Structure 1
Amino acid sequence: MYRSLSTLAIRPHRQRGMALIVSLIFLLLLTMIGISSMQNASLQERMAGSVKLRNESFQVAEAALRAGENAVAASNYVLAVCSGNTACAPPNAAVVTTAGANGNVVWVAVTGTTGLYAVQNIGSTAAPINPPSGCQSASTTLYRITAIGFSGPSRSVVESIYGKC
């Protein structure tokens, strides 16, 4: 009987260090999981910010396109027909950052936004498939309107063909 009492007294003393080691290992694992979760959350936040900037630049480009269409729709708007393949080619929107002449077009800044638009008169057609509403003449002048929207490092480019009697 004396023997069993002494062995019971020794065993708990030996296990105290093992409990500390096991708890430190669990703490290390929880720390690694926490760090991984924080990195994942940070990555998702950056991706969401990028999507936000892309959407904003697209909306700015859409607003600039509408401003360009409204400018062309004015009754006193006149623009010479572009001549040759080079002059009638779509503008290189990838290099444009400010308003002014660039290549074969003049970029116009849209007030209150970070958008730009450019207009090209690409000629006329005698029999448009879908003539503009209220168009009584036989020919329609076609304008290419290209718009750029900026938001942070994001850039969006949209384009439309506008028919005017």
Structure 2
Amino acid sequence: MFNAQVSLRNRQCGAALLTSLLILLVLSLLAVASMQNVSLQEKMVSAVKDGQVALEAAEYAARQAELELENNTVTLGNFGVKTGLYLKSEAPNVFAATTWSAGEGAKSVAASGFPTDELAEAPRYLIEHVGQVITSEQIDDLAIGNYGGASAAAPPEGFRIVAWSSGRTGQTTRIVEVFYGKD
């Protein structure tokens, strides 16, 4: 009778060990799968933040170009002559990487004032003069500010501003296009 009790007890200890190892294996697999999911979500959040920083910097560069036009820093005589200023239909391909590179032969202008420690590269912009945008009759119909229905007023000059920026990692880029009119 003593031998039967000993052999029954030995069999039970092995089954408990095997069951606990199986449970531990299942819990380990769940933990690894959860860690991979969290890692993927972290990468997605980082990419979204990088894109938002790049978009903000590109908008900043576009605004700086608008201010240069508004403050008469750039005149019509500069177009086709100075870097980053192009006549109608002469602007480079905005999707080409060479358009936004710095250094000798640059086709765009670096925007200043944005905290560059947030970016891989400084934001850049180019301005294209597209000519007069509307006729004086359309100005009267649209009641555009500063024209007050004056039929003798010259139509505003139109400009296409394209701004580019990279994100913090340099793997994200954003391009913003703005049309700007100035009398």
Residues 55-106 of structure 1: per-residue CA shift (max 9 Å, x gap): 11000001001001111111353134725x4x1x56424313334655xxx4
- Counterpart check, 1:28 vs 2:32: no
Give the 3-state SS of the residue equivalent to 2:126 in structure 1. Answer: strand
1:12 to 5, 9, 12: 9
* 117 and 53 in structure 1: CA distance in 2 versus 1, 3 angstrom threshold: same
1:149 to 143, 150, 165: 165
- Alignment map for 1:1-165 (pairs within 5 Å): 7-8=4-5, 10-75=7-72, 77-79=74-76, 80=79, 82=87, 85=89, 87=90, 91-95=93-97, 96-99=99-102, 101-102=105-106, 106-113=107-114, 114-124=122-132, 125-127=134-136, 128=138, 130=142, 133-135=145-147, 137-151=153-167, 152=169, 153-165=171-183
* 76 and 67 in structure 1: CA distance in 2 versus 1, 3 angstrom threshold: closer
State the superposition RMSD in angstroms: 2.5
Partner amino acid, structure 2, of 1:94: A
Partner amino acid, structure 2, of 1:71: E
**Residue 30 of structure 1: CA displacement?**
0.7
Q: Is the 8 A contact 1:132 1:164 kept in 2?
A: no
Question: Quick one: percent identity of the two aligned structures?
Answer: 30
Partner amino acid, structure 1, of 2:175: V
Partner amino acid, structure 2, of 1:163: G
Partner amino acid, structure 2, of 1:98: S
* 155 and 132 in structure 1: CA distance in 2 versus 1, 3 angstrom threshold: farther
Question: Which runs of 5 or more residues in structure 1 are unaligned?
Answer: none
Q: Is the 8 A contact 1:57 1:156 kept in 2?
A: yes
Partner amino acid, structure 2, of 1:134: N
Normalising by structure 1, we get a TM-score of: 0.81
Residues 17-38 of structure 1: per-residue CA shift (max 9 Å, x gap): 0110110111111111111111
**Residue 107 of structure 1: CA displacement?**
1.2
Q: How many residues align?
A: 156
Question: Which runs of 5 or more residues in structure 2 are unaligned?
Answer: 80-85, 115-121
Larger proportion of strand: 1
Greater Rg, structure 1 or structure 2? 1
Q: Is the 8 A contact 1:132 1:163 kept in 2?
A: no
